[in-house]
Amino acid sequence: MAGSSSTGEDIYAFDAGHLRAYRRRAQIVFQNPTSSLNLARAWPTSFVRPLVLHGVARDDRRRRVLATLRAVGLTDAYLERYPSSLSGGEKQRVALARAFVTDPLLIVLDEPTTALDVSVQATILELLLEQKERTGLRLPSHLARPRGGASGRRRGHGHA
């Protein structure tokens, strides 16, 4: 339903404080991760702004970025890389990590695997479902685990 939060609340009725709190719990991952990355800077700078806006203490920011990187299968070595040096799958992992870093309850995904080859698509879907299991994240129901995924078992659909 348009204007409803993941809990059924009318987001148009939120005051500024409630809307700010809701935005922290809802993130978006765009179809083309390249267009949402600043090509002139090493990509980790894009993680800092949401953490600052959400009041995350300076000492906690680096820890959260590193933990999020590991959660999407990237190493600390990626911190110094520019978006132009990343593959399509790596850019998509960065986009997911940026969405995960604020610990959202809901992520809106605009066709997150469209531009990726089949093996990378399966990996990205696995990452989303692992995050869902770990945190209770809400994902659109059409993001089911592909048959024969890394775990070899078929999972049910998520909840919108």
123-157 in b/e form (b: 16+ CB < 10 A) is bbbbbbbbbbeeeebbbbeebbbbeebeeeeeeee
Give me the tens of pLDDT residue by residue for the chain, a chain 160 residues long: 455 555 667 888 999 988 878 877 888 888 888 888 877 777 777 778 888 888 899 989 989 989 888 888 889 888 888 888 888 888 888 888 888 888 888 888 888 777 777 877 888 888 888 888 888 887 754 544 454 544 443 333 343 3
pLDDT score of 3: 56
Query: Per-domain residue ranges for the chain?
Result: 11-135
- Cα(124)–Cα(144) distance, integer angstroms: 11
Name the CA dihedral angle for 70, 123, 90, 108, rounded to a multiple of 10 degrees: -90
How many Cα atoms are found within 13 Å in the side-chain-facing hemisphere of 153? 4
Q: What is the pLDDT of residue 1?
A: 46
* pLDDT for the residue 147: 47
pLDDT of residue 60: 93
d(C-alpha 7, C-alpha 34), whole Å: 31
Q: What is the CATH number of domain 11-135?
A: 3.40.50.300
C-alpha span between 145 and 141 (Å, rounded): 11
> Cα separations (Å) of 83 from 73, 92, 94, 143?
16, 11, 9, 26
